[in-house]
Amino acid sequence: MTKNMEIQNGVLCLEPIPSRKIHEPIESFFMPCNSSPKQKWMFLKVSEGEDKGKIVHQSTGKCLSFNKVKESTQDNRYSKVKMLSFLSNIVNDIGLTIETPVMESCEIDKSSTRYQSQIWSLDSPVNFNSDL
């Protein structure tokens, strides 16, 4: 995470891409950095004195989550196959299992699995907000 509150990988920044379906999680992808509010995040420490916290999208207030157990709906599978149709069958199989971080409502129950999937640790000299 940069001082400009962007999650950056080279010249690419993490940006949520909303689904057309209301109940679908919002997947996030690395897009060219453009300093837009869509690419701004904040790190909220879980408690004072800890380096762990939640990464929250500034515009939506949704938490960045990386849950390895991802529900796979038929529509989701179809859209990914359609997107990768020009690739070989082997690449298709790999593409269907690619996991991306998603944004979802911030969980407050510390004993839940969903809460644990939203906890991140940053190794950064930047001072961040706390109290989540």
Contact 99, 68 (CB under 8 A): yes
Report how far apart the first and last C-alpha atoms of the chain are (Å, whole number).
Answer: 18
Among 64-68, 93-97, 98-102, the least confident range: 93-97
Segments making up each domain of the chain, as ranges = 1-66+101-126, 70-99
pTM: 0.60
Least reliable range by pLDDT among 4-8, 98-102, 121-125: 121-125
How far, CA to CA in Å, does 25 sit from each of 20, 22, 67, 91, 117?
A: 10, 8, 11, 24, 14
Q: Are 98 and 56 in contact (CB under 8 A)?
A: no
Give the pLDDT band (50/70/90) at residue 92. Answer: very low
Packing angle of the helix pair 89-96, 74-83 (nearest 10 deg): 140
| Domain 1-66+101-126: top CATH class | mainly beta
Taking the CA atoms of the chain, what radius of gyration do you get in angstroms? 16
pLDDT bracket for residue 83 (50, 70, 90): very low
Percentage, residues of the chain above pLDDT 70: 63
